Amino acid sequence: MHQGPVDSSKVPRFAGPATFARLPRLDQVERAHVAVVGVPFDTGVSYRPGARFGPAAVREASRLLRPYHPGLDLSPFERVQVADAGDIAVNPFHIEEAIETVEAGADAIDARLVTIGGDHTIALPLLRSAAKKYGPVALVHFDAHLDTWDTYFGAEYTHGTPFRRAAEEGLLDTEALSHVGTRGSLYGKKDLEDDRRIGFGIVTAADVLRRGLDEVIDQLRQRVGNRPVYISVDIDVLDPAHAPGTGTPEAGGLSSRELLEILRGLAGCRLIGADVVEVAPAYDHAEITSIAASHVAYDLVSLLAIQEEEAT
């Protein structure tokens, strides 16, 4: 019998500690199959800071989540043990040290991880940790931006460079890489050429609109195949109408509904880990972004629960 969330018919949603979805802490269960962990770090941002407060805001918004997921016909907290692993505390003044700390923290948690950021820099150490267990992984990257730039101001480790570094380090299966939801202006056409050389295929936000969800989902599933896959969600993949609370917003993005439906369409793929990043509560209106991110995290937990149950 798995320990699930606090019963909201006995303890109101607005009472008690704000663990993710009101789940037990990791130290309150014998073993977790899926763990939600925060990384409150935003030293790698290039524009608006504030994502260090993302994990707390997403946990607070997740009080409204309920234990049955009708879209997937699944009660994830009954299928497997899910727990909140707290935060990985990192040095806010030293990016390289912070990256090492995140990698070590992820290594130390014996569960499939859904990580709440924090800025997108943290994807690199999370992929390092995943590759130790699974080898090079497929990647489905939801983002307004490519995040495959080389450097910013000469810095190699920022929220705009994690997937360039991951490819260089051999962490990614370069035959199974996809961006979803990209849009907006670039520094030049070379950005796209460099991205293509790394191995990424691109599904732009306009592609989602014009081609439709079913075709996009089918393309992603074919590209991933049966490989171990990591999903990385920058919340700015959503249009600012759906996610104003983020560091680098771009017009013309996905709706919350589109993002959630694409994620649900990936059910059954060999998901081994995921993150949701770039929630910056200071720019959030009425918790719109935090609420969206909490639902994204819930869907990712549910997809991982399916995979963990199948694996065992």
DSSP SS3 for 243: coil
Please report, in range form, the residues annotated as the binding site. 120, 143, 145, 147, 234, 236
Residue ranges with strand state E in 136-239: 137-142, 172-182, 200-204, 229-234
Asked if residue 20 lies in contact with residue 36, where contact means CB atoms within 8 angstroms, the answer is yes
The sign of the dihedral angle between the CA atoms of 171, 276, 50, 178 is: positive
Residue ranges with strand state E in 143-283: 172-182, 200-204, 229-234, 271-277
- Residue 255, number of CB atoms within 10 A of its CB: 17
The sign of the dihedral angle between the CA atoms of 17, 21, 26, 31 is: positive
Please report, in range form, the residues annotated as the binding site for Mn(2+). 120, 143, 145, 147, 234, 236
Evaluate the omega torsion of the peptide bond into residue 118 and state whether it is cis, within 30 degrees of 0.
yes
Distance separating alpha carbons of residues 1 and 79, to the nearest angstrom? 9
Asked if residue 99 lies in contact with residue 35, where contact means CB atoms within 8 angstroms, the answer is no
Alpha carbon 7 to chain centroid, angstroms: 27
The edge-to-edge listing of strands for the beta sheet with 34-39 is 82-87, 34-39, 112-117, 271-277, 229-234, 137-142, 172-182, 200-204
For the chain, state the CA radius of gyration.
18
DSSP SS3 for 246: coil
DSSP H/E element including 198: helix 189-198
